[in-house]
C-alpha cells in the first residue's frame, strides 16, 4: 500500500549563489532539466517507487520543486538530490 505524498519546496531556493553564477548566460533551463532528471532518478528502497517532479516554480531567486512520491522518506531524499546539485 502506498499513499501519494506531496511535499512542496515552493519559494525556497534550493541552490546556492555559486550555482547561479555558474549557470548565468542561458544555462538555467538546462540546469532545471538536470535537476529534474536527478530528482526523478531517486528511488525508494522500501517501496520501489520513483520520485516525480509534479511542478517547477521558477522565480528570480531560484527554483521551487514540488515533488511527489510514495512516502516522505523518498521525497526527502529527492529534495537532497536537488539541493546538492552543482553545475559542472
Ligand atoms: Zn516509499
Protein residues near ligand 1, an ion, with CB under 5 A: 44, 46-47, 70-71, 74
pLDDT for 62: 67
Per-residue pLDDT for the chain (88 aa), expressed as one digit of tens each? 445 554 444 444 444 554 555 445 556 677 788 888 999 999 999 999 999 998 887 777 666 788 999 999 999 999 888 777 654 4
Q: Which pairs with CB-CB distance under 8 Å and at least 24 residues apart come from 23-27?
A: 23/87, 27/87
Strand ranges inside 1-88, DSSP E: 5-8, 52-59, 62-69
pLDDT for 88: 43
Distance 76 CA to ligand 1 centre (A): 11
Distance 31 CA to ligand 1 centre (A): 26
pLDDT for 27: 64
Amino acid at each position: 500500500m502506498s499513499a501519494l505524498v506531496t511535499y512542496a519546496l515552493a519559494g525556497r531556493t534550493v541552490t546556492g549563489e555559486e550555482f547561479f553564477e555558474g549557470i548565468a548566460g542561458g544555462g538555467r533551463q538546462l540546469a532545471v532539466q538536470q535537476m529534474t532528471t536527478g530528482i526523478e532518478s531517486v528511488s525508494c528502497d522500501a517501496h520501489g517507487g520513483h520520485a516525480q517532479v509534479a511542478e517547477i516554480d521558477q522565480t528570480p531567486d531560484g527554483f521551487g520543486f514540488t515533488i511527489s512520491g510514495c512516502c516522505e522518506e523518498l521525497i526527502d531524499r529527492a529534495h537532497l538530490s536537488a539541493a546538492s546539485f552543482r553545475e559542472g
